[in-house]
A and B are shown apart, each in its own frame.
Chain A
């Protein structure tokens, strides 16, 4: 699943068409979804970003192979062109810092970004937005450092009055190819094939039902050992009896572990 966090509806517009998302009403936020994507519009600023991100992720409980994308426009100094996209590798806010890991190759610039509480009209030497820090703060409870992407598009050189809704839509739209490339690469790094097939998982569960908690942990470890060491499918037979005595359970576990780890 890809979780997309944007502050403004204008930032969402291009993504809704591109990813064929439909409006949903699960949470009291503007949200769009497809089978693989959930997008939330948070509203502007640190608090809004943090609250909406927490609400979405708390509701959905992301997994180790999911990704979070915070996409948005930002102000930047003149060494960035208007419309240029970059990835943030350090997010600063007041005295705090976050460091998302960018562990995949990509062709964009990377930069620090400063999150502020008011639209920035004073010229600074690094890009500035209002949400990255809030999004990271909430999302880091749910994601590893390499599962979170901060994809920013420069909308102005510290002239917030020049930024219109139409401009935001256009700038994001023009960067959809860049975004696709980044998402592909990030997915390559994040994706992990499951160790067990569905059938194997079910078999492990039914056998575990015969065992105590500690025994089923030891049994699960032995199954992992077998799969990782032999790299072969796991064939396990479930006992014929419905229940096992304490002694039978221990003998059964011992024989399972022996077979799996020999």
Chain B
């Protein structure tokens, strides 16, 4: 017995919690094989683990575990006020994965869930059936709304399945939002103008400080370039902007770097927005983790915390001015408190 192990956190997915109801599913087997060294714990219902009281999100974030489960209805939720629904009459998001592999300090998930673990619902077909009922009209589905699906694509093939499903349904529009550098996992699929791959970018210093476990700016940029060169519609989101004394040194140069890496003409859209969150989530985050983002003296209006109109307008003004050196204003979308 080795008593001299240096104390350390467990690796990610050291424990796999598997609902009895999905233990025979092919996808479950595939994931179990990938993590053959993980401890397998069978459970009755994912909520028995995911919703346990008194979990420590901060500590769990350092060794996230995976829960495999079967989702029951509802399979779709209406998009939220805090995000951009791009004027679609039908705008939904799918809760097919709960939780995220990455650990961004400003993420609302830590204020929303009790657990830093991820739940992956393996019954993707049921989500597709739910979407079918809305496809009489153009429908936007955000498939990485409460998660980053591309980040765990090698495990789940989830994005690939959705993209293949969308190929068969012209009224289905998808938004795949990611911070990953994992375009390679879908690069062999046929590109489709109804699908937008949306990359969130931040200056490297912000990534180092707040976006733990995410790929570097360089890696994200090269993934974006690959996707654009392969003909995909790519939206770059510099959202949320985290405002501090270095804002002018960090964000305009990020925009310059973006447009020296990619062909501005081929970029579908650029989204700009500063940090905002429901004050209920922020309150929870303050209790859960030590992050300066959580303790900034925000303005609160209608249960939303934000930097306030003056700072927000300055952020958007500086960034829009910089971005319009490269692309026309029509392709720039901004999120601003009304």
* A-to-B contact residues, CB < 8 Å: 89-90, 97, 99, 101-108, 110, 112, 140, 143-147, 177-178, 180-181, 184-185, 187-190, 195, 218, 221-222, 224-225, 228-229, 257, 261-262
| Cross-chain contact B59 with A189 (CB below 8 angstroms) | yes
| Cross-chain contact A97 with B54 (CB below 8 angstroms) | no
> Which of A104, A110, A195, A222 is packed against the most chain B CB atoms within 10 Å?
A104
Residues of B within 8 A of A184 (CB): 7
| Cross-chain contact A110 with B39 (CB below 8 angstroms) | yes
| Cross-chain contact B296 with A103 (CB below 8 angstroms) | no
| Cross-chain contact B48 with A188 (CB below 8 angstroms) | no
| Cross-chain contact A105 with B10 (CB below 8 angstroms) | yes
Residues of A within 8 A of B1 (CB): 107-108, 177-178
Closest B residue to A224 using CB positions: B295
> Which of A106, A107, A228 is in CB contact (< 8 Å) with B290?
A228
Q: How far, in Å, is B55 (CB) from chain A's closest CB?
A: 5
Q: Is B129 an interface residue (CB 8 A)?
A: no
Closest 6 CB pairs of A and B: A188-B7, A229-B292, A225-B295, A228-B292, A224-B295, A185-B7
Q: How far, in Å, is A142 (CB) from chain B's closest CB?
A: 9
A104 and B3 contact, Cβ closer than 8 Å, known pairs A89-B41, A110-B39, A225-B296: no
Closest B residue to A103 using CB positions: B63
Q: Is B333 an interface residue (CB 8 A)?
A: no
User: In B1-47, which residues have CB < 8 Å from any A CB?
Assistant: 1-5, 7-11, 15, 17, 39, 41, 43-44
| Cross-chain contact A143 with B54 (CB below 8 angstroms) | yes
Interface residues contributed by chain B, number (CB under 8 Å)? 37
Q: Is B310 an interface residue (CB 8 A)?
A: no
Q: How far, in Å, is A129 (CB) from chain B's closest CB?
A: 18
A257 and B10 contact, Cβ closer than 8 Å, known pairs A102-B15, A146-B60, A228-B291: no
> Which of B3, B244, B297 is in CB contact (< 8 Å) with A222?
B297
| Cross-chain contact B297 with A144 (CB below 8 angstroms) | no
Q: How far, in Å, is A148 (CB) from chain B's closest CB?
A: 10
> Which of B3, B11, B43, B54 is in CB contact (< 8 Å) with A140?
B54
| Cross-chain contact B44 with A97 (CB below 8 angstroms) | yes
Alpha-carbon distance A257/B297, docked complex (angstroms): 8
Residues of B within 8 A of A180 (CB): 3
| Cross-chain contact A89 with B290 (CB below 8 angstroms) | no
Residues of A within 8 A of B3 (CB): 107, 177-178, 180-181
Alpha-carbon distance A221/B293, docked complex (angstroms): 11
Q: How far, in Å, is B109 (CB) from chain A's closest CB?
A: 18
Main secondary structure of the interface of B (DSSP, over half): loop
Q: How far, in Å, is B250 (CB) from chain A's closest CB?
A: 14
A261 and B8 contact, Cβ closer than 8 Å, known pairs A107-B1, A140-B54, A190-B59: no
A105 and B8 contact, Cβ closer than 8 Å, known pairs A99-B49, A190-B59, A225-B297: yes
| Cross-chain contact B7 with A262 (CB below 8 angstroms) | no
Residues of A within 8 A of B168 (CB): none
User: In B84-132, which residues have CB < 8 Å from any A CB?
Assistant: none
Closest B residue to A190 using CB positions: B59
| Cross-chain contact A185 with B39 (CB below 8 angstroms) | no
| Cross-chain contact A187 with B55 (CB below 8 angstroms) | no
A-B contact pairs, 19 of them (CB 8 A): A89-B15, A89-B39, A90-B41, A97-B43, A99-B48, A102-B10, A105-B7, A105-B8, A105-B11, A107-B1, A108-B1, A145-B54, A145-B55, A181-B3, A188-B8, A189-B62, A195-B290, A225-B295, A228-B291
Q: Is B74 an interface residue (CB 8 A)?
A: no
Q: How far, in Å, is A14 (CB) from chain B's closest CB?
A: 16
| Cross-chain contact B60 with A107 (CB below 8 angstroms) | no
Alpha-carbon distance A225/B295, docked complex (angstroms): 5
| Cross-chain contact A181 with B5 (CB below 8 angstroms) | yes
> Which of A104, A112, A143, A181 is in CB contact (< 8 Å) with B10?
A104
Q: Is B249 an interface residue (CB 8 A)?
A: no
Alpha-carbon distance A189/B6, docked complex (angstroms): 12
- Additional A-B contacts beyond A221-B297, A224-B292, A225-B296 (5; CB < 8 A): A89-B41, A103-B59, A181-B3, A225-B292, A228-B292
